[in-house]
Structure 1
Amino acid sequence: METNVQRVSSNSKWESIVGYSRAVKKGPFVFVSGTTATDPETGKIAHHGDSYAQTRLIFQNIERGLLALGASLGDVTRTRMYVVDMGRNWDGVAKAHAEFMKSVMPAATAIQVEKLVDPAMLVEIEVDAVVL
């Protein structure tokens, strides 16, 4: 493993099964893996059926990963949102995204997906950040 690469884990069961880190920092670049509304205390998906509440929890989970690597939501340069059933869930996702990102205004992409790994997941978000 390279010494100039920092990794942080959230201890999600998926990290060891799939073989990935919650977030990785190399130089000024921070990459946060696809993040879902997993309750950090229980490891279970929270806020079933509520895309707004799930997205808020996702950004809180993302922020923990960023902070562990010396970054913040203010350093985010890109977000990618994977949304199940855009017609039903987009308004909640967009509202929560704006609450966390409106002052940052990162490049953003929203993609409708058929499903995510757990049927209770309505949205998954990944972010890239640059720390200067």
Structure 2
Amino acid sequence: MRTLISTGSPWEPKVGYSRAVIVNDTIYISGTAGQGADLYAQTRDALATIEKVLTDNGFALADVVQSRLAVADFAHWQDAARAHGEVYNAIRPAFSLVHALPFVEDTILVEVEAIAVRGSA
């Protein structure tokens, strides 16, 4: 069973992606950018969006088993890592931090991805 989750973005059909895909008890959440003036704020906002996608689809933040940060401003990667740690401190999913230059829009400083398995907490 495969369920596609859409935000209604016109880019989804053009690029050929979904905000998230659910297969059985696993949800795969695409790279998610956040809003904010700096890397920390954008990371926190992206993580809040990911949590909403999870909860709207019957998952919990504690179900996250893997997380990835793609950071454009690598000189300040610790700000993104701090935001990630504040959200996932007790959950401690598998984690990757990568340097990505450039993003589609130069105002985007970070994208966050997640994979969660329902009931894995």
TM-score (norm 1): 0.84
Distance 1:100 1:130 in 2: 17
Matched to 2:111, the amino acid is E
Match of residue 111 from structure 1: 98
The answer to whether residue 69 in structure 2 is matched with residue 72 in structure 1 is no
Q: CA deviation at 1:68?
A: 2.2
- How many residues align structurally? 119
Match of residue 48 from structure 2: 60
Instruction: Map 1:1-132; keep pairs closer than 5 Å.
Output: 4-37=1-34, 46-48=35-37, 50-87=38-75, 89-132=76-119
Q: CA deviation at 1:16?
A: 2.9
CA deviations over 1:30-68 (Å, ceiling 9, x no partner): 10001001xxxxxxxx313x0000001001111111122
TM-score (norm 2): 0.91
Which piece of structure 1 moves more, 11-20 or 55-64? 11-20
Task: Decide whether the 8 Å contact of 1:30 with 1:128 is kept in 2.
Answer: yes
Alpha-carbon RMSD across the aligned residues, in angstroms, is 1.2
Match of residue 42 from structure 1: none
Distance 2:42 2:13 in 1: 23
Distance 1:130 1:86 in 2: 30
Distance 1:118 1:73 in 2: 28
Q: Which runs of 4+ in 1 moved over 6 A?
A: none
